[in-house]
Structure 1
Amino acid sequence: MNGKTVVLSATSDFSGWRAWSRKLLYDRVAADEIRWTIEAPADLYARSATRVLPEAPSTTTIPRSLAALFPAVFASDAPDRFQLLYFTLQLLRDGTPISDELFVRLQDLATQTRHRVLDLRCQMPDAHNPDWQIIRTSHASALIDSQASALSNLRPAPWILTAPERTLCWDGQEYRFGPGLEKDIADPAELIATAREIATAGTDNAWWNGIAPVRLHPIASEIGSSTSLASLRGQAIDCQLCDLYGPATRTVSGEGDPEARIIFVGEQPGDQEDLQGRPFVGPAGQLFDRALKEAGGNRAEAWITNAVKHFKFVPRGKRRIHQKPDSAEMAACAPWLAAERKVLAPKVTVMLGVTGASAVLGRHVTVSRERSRHIPLEDGSIGLVTVHPSYLLRLPDEESKTREYTKFVTDLRMAISALAG
């Protein structure tokens, strides 16, 4: 029996494995005749590099249920994962049924990988602090590589991730891969400088094209079992529960003090929130911050979130014009808000505008009728409805703006006073 040795460039070299698998399947090379090895090419971390991969017609159609498992199995720590996946493709090519034992093994490996993915994502700080952040982790390089895009969405501001076998650098525009640091560096400035120096391989280096992202595929029935805000944020970045995820840049989760006793619920992210990955940072958010401060509150001690986590808009030239989310989109996003409130267990929930109030109360709300009073919520906490700060920005004259802003500050002051009640 003639064996075939296939050399992959890295443990995350999915494009190499896929190209060679297609070629070997076409040539009818059996799984037990292939030896998969890892050998880094000399230009693996070069700023630019080219690559030649074998080409062959596809001989296999992969069912969606199996295809969803492949990236997670590939990024697992199973020593036989390359052979296992190739053997699965071989069975599909030959029309041989996938055994229950094999399918369960693939599912188990994928589940273990996704647990590690969520653990890694939970280590990623949010974008509240725009300065460079350092994340030290012990996760394997294949897992880290599979999360480069997700981690940059979780934190659009710059960061360095360092692990024994990988350095990953995101400068706010693009991410670059590098080897692990040769020594432990305690000084943050020195570590950042060194990491940026060695993490040089980006989109111009063909060895890093085609890394398979491992996604978490959150479903509504499982979101409520989350036990931390970091876990919710880590899962939500992959949310596809409604169609808004497509045009939006990213999921924008809540932000603030995880021990907060007061939560502010708005409608949805706007243009700046979508770009920065933070709630209430655009013009309406800046007005909200000013009003909250005048009312005696502190954003750092509160939790700020939205009923809908993706930006809904229509393009108009270079601008993106806000569109109000519909009832189906609100219903799809409801599990995220419910889970946030369950984890936080706030004493006071301030509902900013119709969408935020309707999402919390579970019914249509007219702000003018229910504004500025304590509303008992089902969990025994206190709710308060007020206007969304964007309403104040749309008022036509300064007199109206001044009058309504004062009422808004009064509502916020009432909510803050309820914390002491």
Structure 2
Amino acid sequence: MYRVSLSADDDFEGWRDAARALAVSQIPASDIVWSVGSGGSDLFGDQPVPAANPLAGFGVPKPFIDLAQSAILHSDPERFSLLYAVLLRVRSQPSDMQDRADPLLRRVEMLAKAVRRDIHKMRAFVRFREVEDTGKTEKRYVAWFEPEHHIVRRNAGFFVRRFANMHWSILTPELSIHWDGERLQESPGAERGDAPSEDPVEDIWKGYYAAIFNPARLKVGAMLSEMPKKYWRNLPEASMIPNLIAGAQAREANMIAASPKPSAPPPTRAATPGDNAQGAWEALRADAMGCTRCHLHLLGTQTVFGEGPIGARLMIIGEQPGDQEDLAGRPFVGPAGKVFDAALEQAGIDRARVYLTNAVKHFKHELRGKRRIHQTPQTAEIQACRWWLQQETEIIRPRITLALGATAARAMIGKTVTIGKTRGAPIILENGGEGWVTVHPSYLLRIPDAAKAAEERERFVEDLRNVRERLEAA
């Protein structure tokens, strides 16, 4: 038997190095014992892990790496062995990664899904409370959280980025992390009593939460699915939820009785002082910064959210951020963005009056040396991100939405369409608005023939003019 002792429960690098050496030597999964820490000794003695041959070729599909990095954080003690078994299979048959009916692969994917959900829950339900830090001028904040899996180190970067200017600690039973504004440090696990149980500011938060609680939109089942009761004891607003639910029906009836009976609503509306559309958009954008709906959040530098005036009459959707957009955090600022800006100017459209966004909010790419090469998003990734696009559309309420390219068109309409068949004609969308489809400006950059490229650019500008004229006529 071969025994592999990993340094920690989330030691992906240690597992990867050992698995590579064992797989090259064609050691079956049944002959390996995986443990964390010093571990024990097998009854019949353990053999050392064979040294990896640096000249031996070793390749696995990229989706397997993404899957393994998540699944290895699960609390299931069999995860190391399961991943190794999948590794042996896909190394010889890479196409097996596409076999969603395979029981072994499905089991590992369920582990990864549970880990991603736990990461999301930690980001959603950590609540910091202020504590006195003797001798320190900076305020310090402490939170308590009980993750189901080994996700604390993986999630640390999110909290460093989100709360970079705060001094904070997150205490968990297994591991605690601390940020002093410059360095991230770790310490052993803690107990719930080590974290503060209340904060004077919470009374203000509770009052705000009660004020924004909308009984007309209450769905208890959905709420419990997204916010299970086991998290309630760490949330200051949780003590109010039972009473708010109990009084929801009466409050809803009062809201209906007190609401005015307006005539038909206008097709669009602009944000005005006192309107909460701006606040809703800001909250949505902040939430999207921590999106983990698909694995692309592990690739991109950051979420690239939409930008533009709230209440814009025209929304334009691209495919996804490119390399420069990913670094800048803004849509349409790279080479395709320059082509796009020039076409907008020729068509007489002011970019500052347009809401610009993408169907997919993270940069999907593969590394080739130091270059990050664009990859087209797949159906599952488009669908995972479509929720954000729908929320943007609900807040902006554009009269016309223009999709640039097939990916954007799929996200806008909800099904696969071809540019040739849908280009140049209005489409009635689910929200009652009007949709149009044209090519993506990056397509214009890829046309090798100069005459053909000029022709297609003029056609692209003409599509933009048609949209502008449609808005003016409306």
**Normalized against structure 1, the TM-score is what?**
0.52
Identical amino acids, percent of aligned pairs: 42
Q: Aligned AA for 1:363?
A: K
Cα distance, 1:8–1:244 mapped onto 2, change above 3 Å = farther
Residues 1:394 and 2:420 are matched in the alignment: no
Report 1:12-411 matches (<5 A).
12=140, 14=142, 58=189, 77=201, 104-108=232-236, 228-411=280-463
Matched-pair contact (CA < 8 Å) for 1:255–1:303: yes
The secondary structure found in structure 2 opposite 1:315 is: strand
Q: CA RMSD in A?
A: 4.0
Distance 1:103 1:393 in 2: 50
Offset from partner CA, 1:62-88 (integer Å, 9 cap, x none): 8xxx99xx79x7988369xxxxxxxxx
Distance 1:320 1:382 in 2: 35
> Following TM superposition, by how much is the alpha carbon of 1:397 offset from its aligned partner in structure 2, in angstroms?
1.5
Q: Aligned AA for 2:282?
A: A
Offset from partner CA, 1:38-75 (integer Å, 9 cap, x none): xxxxxx99xx9x99x9x986476x8xxx99xx79x798
Higher relative contact order structure (alpha carbons within 8 Å, sequence separation ≥ 6): 1
> Following TM superposition, by how much is the alpha carbon of 1:228 offset from its aligned partner in structure 2, in angstroms?
2.5
Offset from partner CA, 1:250-305 (integer Å, 9 cap, x none): 10010112121001001000001010010000000110010011011010010110
Cα distance, 1:57–1:370 mapped onto 2, change above 3 Å = closer
Distance 1:310 1:356 in 2: 14
Distance 1:276 1:262 in 2: 23
> Following TM superposition, by how much is the alpha carbon of 1:230 offset from its aligned partner in structure 2, in angstroms?
1.7
Query: 2:47 maps to which residue?
Result: none
Distance 2:464 2:168 in 1: 57
Higher helix share: 2
The secondary structure found in structure 2 opposite 1:420 is: helix
Cα distance, 1:109–1:325 mapped onto 2, change above 3 Å = same
Q: Aligned AA for 1:277?
A: G
> Following TM superposition, by how much is the alpha carbon of 1:420 offset from its aligned partner in structure 2, in angstroms?
2.0
Matched-pair contact (CA < 8 Å) for 1:229–1:343: yes
Q: In the comparison of the two structures, how many residue pairs are matched?
A: 252
The secondary structure found in structure 2 opposite 1:256 is: coil
Matched-pair contact (CA < 8 Å) for 1:12–1:75: no
Q: Aligned AA for 2:201?
A: D
Q: Aligned AA for 2:301?
A: T
Distance 1:304 1:230 in 2: 15
Distance 1:245 1:111 in 2: 33
Matched-pair contact (CA < 8 Å) for 2:172–2:189: no
Larger radius of gyration: 2
> Following TM superposition, by how much is the alpha carbon of 1:235 offset from its aligned partner in structure 2, in angstroms?
1.2
Cα distance, 1:11–1:419 mapped onto 2, change above 3 Å = same
Cα distance, 1:75–1:299 mapped onto 2, change above 3 Å = farther
Matched-pair contact (CA < 8 Å) for 2:317–2:401: yes
> Following TM superposition, by how much is the alpha carbon of 1:380 offset from its aligned partner in structure 2, in angstroms?
2.3
Distance 1:371 1:308 in 2: 21
The secondary structure found in structure 1 opposite 2:360 is: coil
